[in-house]
């Protein structure tokens, strides 16, 4: 059975791809998986040292002249052969430091033993298909060649590593641009569309920003432009931040994800950070893997948490749920809040966006020029001012969320006849609101679910999930709060009491699953 490939690529040299690859492989092996750690860094094979596997060294048989022996007679009788002095890596995997883990050299940085040429990533794909393992953790180093990016994009799990440095953050942006260019060229099958894309990429510098290339191609081929925007909305690249020291470093990953989403139109899946930890240096000096030398260190716990998130991100149904339902480029979209957001939620969102697009924030390095950054901040200020001013917010909502002409007719058709209304449930200041209770209140008032959807502009699917307490199908807590608040307002309930009690049950469910 072909192993599941986990490809790890660095945004620049020295970000720690070998450290993470080695310890991710050890983590998988310790939970009972058969793992193959693959050193595919063309700049130098050093994954063995991070794993604690000693390099192949030619035996020291007799004193060499450099150590004071000048008489060649001292070497008489010494038998040397090519195999003894050949320090090139073997082609077949060797045993790792824990049961179930093997190390395989790709032969990219130097030839395999018995070969005169280096291998390629294309050959590596064929070799991996023949290996008997559950997972292959492939350390690609920091190369961003077309072949390496293609291998990374085609892996079942792909992960980029960056660090809190301007050049590393810019390298991550460059990697996302190259990966997007590769993916869309693979997805577009029509020959004419491919020619349009190749021409557009050539004119824009091969790896332009995804949102820009979509806008350029839309002029010549509207259908192709729509296809590119669809790819932008569905693609997802996972990344981590290594060597986090300061509080700002801990927030860097979330800020990068926001900035790339706003500027590129592409979603990055931030899996977490690995703190700067002296235990890493200590383990390296002892030539021992971090998870075996210091399993309780901060960095070890960070790596294990990221490993769990890496696989959970692929399985979670919540990640496939649309993360918001507001028109693109609206004030709500810019601040990343829902229509029912409270004033306090808008203030928090504004503060967050100002921090992300601060000129001194390394997140903006290589992402905006000065004029572009000023334009973004001006739009953020405008969104904040409009949404916090009731006299401006209501007209803006009408322009963004126009009421359909037949809304009132549908509301009447979907309402419950007055003579068939069930009794209203008893509500006290201590009442804990569940989905079933909200449905009972709604039905007692003769209000249809479609009518609530028309008033609040919340999708019918979300409203049904709220009433059925299907927490796994709902988006993040900040959006659920807005949905429930608007739901409560329509039912003439206390929005604060309803949202607080419902969110308690929502979070308790998520904590129980974690």
Q: Which of 257, 276, 295 is the last residue of a domain?
A: 276
Reported as type and span, the H/E element at residue 173 is helix 166-187
Same domain, 495 and 435: yes
Cα–Cα dist 385/383, whole Å: 6
Interacting residues of 511 by C-beta distance below 8 A, sequence separation 6+: none
DSSP-derived pairing of the beta strands 157-162 and 101-105: unpaired
Same domain, 189 and 254: yes
Q: Which of 400, 421, 441 is the last residue of a domain?
A: 400
473 part of a folded domain: yes
CATH number at residue 506: 1.10.260.40
Same domain, 412 and 498: yes
* pLDDT for the residue numbered 405: 46
102 part of a folded domain: no
* pLDDT for the residue numbered 455: 83
How is 107-170 classified by DSSP, letter by letter? SSSSPPTT-SS---HHHHHHHHHT---SEEEEE-TT---HHHHHHHHHSSEEEEEE-SSHHHHH
* pLDDT for the residue numbered 73: 52
Same domain, 394 and 445: no
Same domain, 371 and 413: no
Say if residues 237 and 268 touch (Cβ distance below 8 Å): yes
12 part of a folded domain: no
Same domain, 235 and 254: yes
pTM: 0.74
* pLDDT for the residue numbered 316: 46
125 part of a folded domain: no
pLDDT at 406 over 50: no
380 part of a folded domain: yes
Q: Which of 400, 425, 449 is the last residue of a domain?
A: 400
Same domain, 454 and 394: no
284-317 pLDDT per residue, tens: 999 899 999 999 999 999 999 999 998 875 544 4
pLDDT at 445 over 90: no
Around Cβ 52, how many Cβ atoms within 10 Å? 21
High-pLDDT (> 70) share of the chain, %: 90
Interacting residues of 426 by C-beta distance below 8 A, sequence separation 6+: none
Please compute the mean of the pLDDT values over residues 453-481 and round it to a whole number: 86
Cα–Cα dist 36/28, whole Å: 10
Task: Name the residue range of residue 503's domain.
Answer: 407-513
Say if residues 134 and 62 touch (Cβ distance below 8 Å): no
233-277 pLDDT per residue, tens: 888 889 999 999 999 999 999 999 999 999 998 989 999 999 999
- Select from 383, 363, 360, 359 the least CA-distant residue to 373: 359
* Tokens 């209203």, residue located: 424
CATH number at residue 387: 1.10.287.110
* pLDDT for the residue numbered 467: 92
136 part of a folded domain: no
Please compute the mean of the pLDDT values over residues 219-228 and round it to a whole number: 85
108 part of a folded domain: no
Same domain, 208 and 261: yes
pLDDT band at 321 (very low <50, low <70, confident <90, very high): very low
Please compute the mean of the pLDDT values over residues 429-442 and round it to a whole number: 89
Any idea what DSSP says for residue 6?
Answer: E
Our count of domains for the chain comes to: 3
- Select from 235, 272, 232, 269 the least CA-distant residue to 251: 272
DSSP-derived pairing of the beta strands 236-244 and 35-39: unpaired
Same domain, 385 and 414: no
- Select from 419, 401, 350 the least CA-distant residue to 380: 350
423 part of a folded domain: yes
Rg, Å, the chain Cα set: 29
Cα–Cα dist 96/453, whole Å: 58
66-81 pLDDT per residue, tens: 555 555 555 455 567 7
Same domain, 412 and 359: no
Q: Is 283 helix (H, G, I), strand (E, B) or coil?
A: helix
Cα–Cα dist 43/275, whole Å: 25
Same domain, 367 and 270: no
What's the start-to-end Cα distance of the chain, in Å?
30
High-pLDDT (> 90) share of the chain, %: 42
pLDDT at 64 over 60: no
Same domain, 414 and 381: no
- Lay out the sheet containing 157-162: strands in order across: 94-95, 101-105, 35-39, 135-139, 4-10, 157-162, 236-244, 267-275
């Amino acid at each position: 059975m072909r192993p599941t490939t986990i490809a790890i690529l660095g945004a620049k040299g020295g970000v720690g791809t070998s450290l993470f690859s080695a310890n991710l492989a050890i983590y998988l092996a310790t939970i009972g998986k058969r793992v193959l750690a693959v050193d595919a860094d063309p700049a130098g094979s050093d994954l063995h040292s991070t794993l604690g596997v000693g390099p192949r060294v030619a035996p020291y048989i007799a004193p060499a002249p450099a150590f004071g022996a000048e008489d060649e007679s001292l070497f008489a009788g010494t038998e040397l052969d090519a195999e003894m002095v050949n320090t090139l890596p073997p082609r077949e995997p060797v045993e790792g430091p824990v049961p179930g883990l093997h190390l395989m050299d790709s032969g990219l940085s130097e030839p395999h033993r018995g070969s005169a040429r280096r291998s390629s990533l294309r050959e590596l794909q064929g070799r991996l298909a023949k290996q008997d393992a559950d997972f292959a953790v492939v350390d690609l180093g920091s190369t961003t060649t077309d072949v390496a990016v293609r291998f990374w994009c085609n892996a079942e799990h792909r992960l980029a590593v960056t660090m809190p440095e301007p050049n590393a953050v810019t390298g991550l942006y460059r990697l996302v641009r190259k990966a997007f260019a590769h993916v869309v060229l693979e997805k577009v099958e029509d020959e004419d569309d491919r020619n349009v894309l190749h021409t557009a990429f050539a004119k824009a510098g091969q790896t332009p920003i995804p949102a820009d290339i979509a806008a350029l191609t839309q002029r010549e081929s509207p259908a192709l432009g729509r296809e590119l925007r669809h790819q932008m909305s569905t693609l997802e690249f996972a990344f981590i931040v290594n060597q986090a020291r300061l509080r700002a470093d801990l927030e860097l990953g979330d800020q990068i994800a926001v900035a790339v989403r706003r500027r590129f139109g592409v979603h990055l899946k931030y899996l977490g950070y690995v703190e700067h930890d002296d235990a890493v240096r200590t383990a390296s000096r002892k030539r021992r893997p971090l998870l075996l030398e210091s399993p309780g260190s901060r960095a070890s716990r960070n790596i294990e948490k990221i490993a769990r998130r890496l696989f959970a991100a692929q399985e979670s149904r919540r990640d496939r749920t649309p993360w918001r339902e507001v028109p693109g480029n609206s004030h709500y979209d810019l601040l990343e809040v829902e229509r029912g957001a409270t004033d306090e939620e808008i203030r928090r969102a504004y503060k967050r966006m100002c921090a992300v697009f601060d000129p001194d924030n390394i997140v903006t390095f290589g992402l905006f020029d000065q004029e572009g950054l000023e334009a973004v901040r001006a739009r953020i200020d405008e969104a904040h001012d409009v949404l916090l001013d009731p006299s401006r917010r209501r007209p803006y909502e009408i322009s963004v969320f126009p009421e359909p002409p037949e809304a009132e007719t549908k509301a009447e058709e979907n309402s419950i006849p007055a003579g068939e209304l069930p009794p209203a449930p008893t509500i006290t200041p201590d009442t804990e609101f569940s989905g079933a209770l909200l449905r009972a209140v709604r039905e007692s008032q003769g209000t249809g679910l479609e009518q609530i959807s028309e008033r609040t502009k919340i999708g019918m699917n979300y409203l049904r999930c709220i009433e059925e307490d299907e927490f796994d199908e709902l988006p993040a807590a900040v959006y659920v709060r807005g949905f429930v608040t608007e739901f409560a307002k329509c039912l003439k309930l206390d929005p604060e009491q309803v949202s607080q009690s419902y969110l308690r049950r929502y979070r308790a469910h998520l904590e129980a699953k974690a």
